[in-house]
Structure 1
Amino acid sequence: MKKILMVCEAFGGGVFTYVSQLCNDMVDNFDVYLAYAVRPQTPKNYRDFLDKRIHLIEVDGFNAGNLLNIANDMKVIKALRKIEKEVQPDIIHLHSSVAGGIGRIAFKGKNNTVLYTPHGYAHILMEPSRKTKVYGMMEKFLGKYSSATILTCCESEDDVTSKITKNHTYIETGVNLKDLSESLDGIRPVENEKFTVFTLGRVTGQKQPKVFNRIAELVPEARFVWIGGGEQENLLTAPNIEITGWKDRKEALAMAKGADAYVLCSRGEAIAMSLIENMYIKKLVLVSNVMGNKSVINDGVNGYVCNTPEEYADRIRNAMKKFPTSLPENAYRDVLTTYNTDVMKEKYIKYYNSL
């Protein structure tokens, strides 16, 4: 079997879910190795999520979480090259920005194929800063001079990539329908007296809480809920917004099932898992017209793509008068046919075998 070396520094959150699922899905067809770092966001029992056939290699010093510590980066590059020499992989697949930056310097692709999946470019997702400028310059430089192919999670992220390198393609992200269905079984929706609009995740600049707050101000007759918490909670000042704080998955799903509409007004995404999950739950979804979101949602067909708070507000008010039932149904069907791990698995097996 071909040997695949997955390299992941950002082993937490959505990237953890993606990479662990991908590793598990590939072990029947490939010899899978995973070089990783443990972050605070990494589940304590992360080994329980991974098939026992996966060869785990923890990389010391890989969890610095940035590309700006040159001395540490050199140590990690040396460690990764040693792993490459010992494993002798046919394919090296780098996941997220730090692994993508350091990995494309460490691996030259002379005796293997190097792939890089950004999971959303950091310089696009994060608020502008010195760090994001450096990351943006790094992506352009490595896109031009590295031999790696950039393998993105959706068409609109691939469109962004086309301005960085000629070597690029995409495979759509998906959710595990069996796990999601089992998670939803027996969960009773939280009942709401008012039309309820919600979002889910950390309250950070990437999720644009200012925009969410403005939408709530424009539709005072509706109830708005932010499931989660974070450092920018102070920006959610509208009197009809409730911030729940972090909830366990069962409670969050119950709140989602009971709500009417899901809003994702982020600065950018690869593909948000929460978006796919709420399409499966048959929520009316309204998203920002940005990388990731606009690949999944076809405006007026399976949800709404919005450019301004006023657009969101108009769509929500119209839905309160006459709910567009066909849109959630279409979104649900899209998950069954495209945005699930069964489809993703078959595409990855075919792609890896083609290299």
Structure 2
Amino acid sequence: METTPQNHNKILYIITKSNFGGAQKYVYELATEMSKLGYEVAVACGGKDELVEKLHQANIQTYEVTGFQRDVSIFKEIKAFFSLIRIIHNFQPDIVHLNSAKAGGLGALTSRLLRVPKIIFTVHGWSFLEPRPRLWKILAWFGSYFTCLLAHKIITVSQHDFRHTNMPGVQRKLTTIHTAIAPYPLLPREEAREKLIGKTLTNQHLSNLWLVTIAELNNNKNHVTAIDAVAEYNSSHANKIFYTLIGSGELQNSLKEQVNLRGMTDYVLFLDYVENAKQYLLAFDIFLLPSKKRGVALRSS
């Protein structure tokens, strides 16, 4: 059932990074759909990457949050704090919808200080569940708890994250809304392979088992283990795995170095970010999403 704007007609979505991973796709789809329903929508994020480009194409207003990045830096946190103060003050949203841990903490604090009527926080996987040192996980838990106390409503995208939200005074705010992907067309196998990697490379690997991962190249996604597993398999089997990684990220150079050290350059292909990558899924025999921490993945996007 469609909704129409009533008392709350200005929505500001805030997310840390502007690449186009699962959380960014979530924000993009919400922003564009709510705009179609008549809400005045804007998105604030760090950087000017694919998310910002797509939002501009959809005529969605964007703001760049100065200092927003995934890693912690006190100086940049302060810059991001005052940047968010300016953005929220200028846009005057009725609803602020926060996505990702850092955007959640700073966004909830600045929204409360500026008396935003409604603050929503979507959890795309709790950061304190990441395989990190114990002290880091404790600090991440308290940071997440602080965000939840400031938010009016908390959305988890999986029952896994819902069950791990063991925070006093938070349960009444909590709900689970699963992400979903609308039906989409798939290219036939031969056409998908030729369009994605070309005829020459396709012919070189016709006898191989085709494996693909579509994900940002960061530590949480655990490509390191996947590459090691493929290398181990190929070292002891005549029928090799041809592994394609679709996505960009800060670990790209180190992953390529790992592939080189394992002698796997002929069997591992890096394709960077691919627009509408899901249409090529039939090119592959197996889809793999390695992850150290994941409630639910919005893939393939």
TM-score if structure 1 supplies the norm length?
0.62
Could you say if the C-alpha distance between residues 72 and 96 of structure 1 is closer, same or farther in structure 2, counting changes exceeding 3 Å?
same
Is the counterpart of residue 6 in structure 1 residue 9 in structure 2? no
Could you say if the C-alpha distance between residues 230 and 102 of structure 1 is closer, same or farther in structure 2, counting changes exceeding 3 Å?
same
Contact conserved, 1:12 with 1:42, CA < 8 A, in 2? yes
Give the total of aligned pairs.
Answer: 268
Is the counterpart of residue 115 in structure 1 residue 115 in structure 2? no
Of residues 253-262 and 233-242 in structure 1, the stretch that sits farther from structure 2 once superposed is 233-242
Q: Secondary structure at the match of 1:6?
A: strand
**2:297 — aligned with what?**
272
Could you say if the C-alpha distance between residues 171 and 210 of structure 1 is closer, same or farther in structure 2, counting changes exceeding 3 Å?
same
For residues 176 and 263 of structure 2, what CA distance do their matches in structure 1 show? 39
- Percent identity, aligned pairs only? 17
Contact conserved, 1:104 with 1:148, CA < 8 A, in 2? no
Could you say if the C-alpha distance between residues 185 and 93 of structure 1 is closer, same or farther in structure 2, counting changes exceeding 3 Å?
farther
| Greater RCO, CA 8 A, separation 6+ | 2
Contact conserved, 1:6 with 1:92, CA < 8 A, in 2? yes
Structure 1: which 5+ residue stretches go unaligned? 278-355
TM-score if structure 2 supplies the norm length?
0.71
Could you say if the C-alpha distance between residues 46 and 226 of structure 1 is closer, same or farther in structure 2, counting changes exceeding 3 Å?
same
Post-superposition Cα deviations, 1:173-206, rounded to whole Å, max 9, x if no partner, equal 22354xx42x748971436323333323345432
1:124 to 123, 129, 146: 129
**1:197 — aligned with what?**
211
**Following TM superposition, by how much is the alpha carbon of 1:95 offset from its aligned partner in structure 2, in angstroms?**
1.4
Could you say if the C-alpha distance between residues 256 and 22 of structure 1 is closer, same or farther in structure 2, counting changes exceeding 3 Å?
same
1:258 to 283, 286, 290: 283
For residues 267 and 284 of structure 2, what CA distance do their matches in structure 1 show? 13
2:30 to 5, 14, 22: 22
1:232 to 236, 246, 255: 255
**1:152 — aligned with what?**
156
Structure 2: which 5+ residue stretches go unaligned? 194-201, 247-251
Task: Tell me which amino acid in the other structure corresponds to 2:222.
Answer: Q
**2:142 — aligned with what?**
137
> Superposition RMSD on alpha carbons, in Å?
3.6
Contact conserved, 1:157 with 1:270, CA < 8 A, in 2? yes
Could you say if the C-alpha distance between residues 248 and 65 of structure 1 is closer, same or farther in structure 2, counting changes exceeding 3 Å?
closer
Contact conserved, 2:157 with 2:295, CA < 8 A, in 1? yes
Contact conserved, 1:67 with 1:101, CA < 8 A, in 2? no
Q: Secondary structure at the match of 1:273?
A: coil
Contact conserved, 1:187 with 1:253, CA < 8 A, in 2? no
Contact conserved, 2:56 with 2:62, CA < 8 A, in 1? no
Is the counterpart of residue 249 in structure 1 residue 274 in structure 2? yes
Of residues 97-106 and 113-122 in structure 1, the stretch that sits farther from structure 2 once superposed is 113-122
For residues 100 and 150 of structure 1, what CA distance do their matches in structure 2 show? 10
**1:175 — aligned with what?**
181
**Following TM superposition, by how much is the alpha carbon of 1:240 offset from its aligned partner in structure 2, in angstroms?**
9.6
Is the counterpart of residue 80 in structure 1 residue 103 in structure 2? no
For residues 215 and 116 of structure 1, what CA distance do their matches in structure 2 show? 36
Is the counterpart of residue 98 in structure 1 residue 116 in structure 2? no
**Following TM superposition, by how much is the alpha carbon of 1:43 offset from its aligned partner in structure 2, in angstroms?**
5.4
For residues 217 and 92 of structure 2, what CA distance do their matches in structure 1 show? 42
Q: Secondary structure at the match of 1:19?
A: helix
Could you say if the C-alpha distance between residues 22 and 230 of structure 1 is closer, same or farther in structure 2, counting changes exceeding 3 Å?
farther
Q: Secondary structure at the match of 2:294?
A: coil
**2:42 — aligned with what?**
34
Task: Tell me which amino acid in the other structure corresponds to 1:271.
Answer: V
Is the counterpart of residue 45 in structure 1 residue 63 in structure 2? no
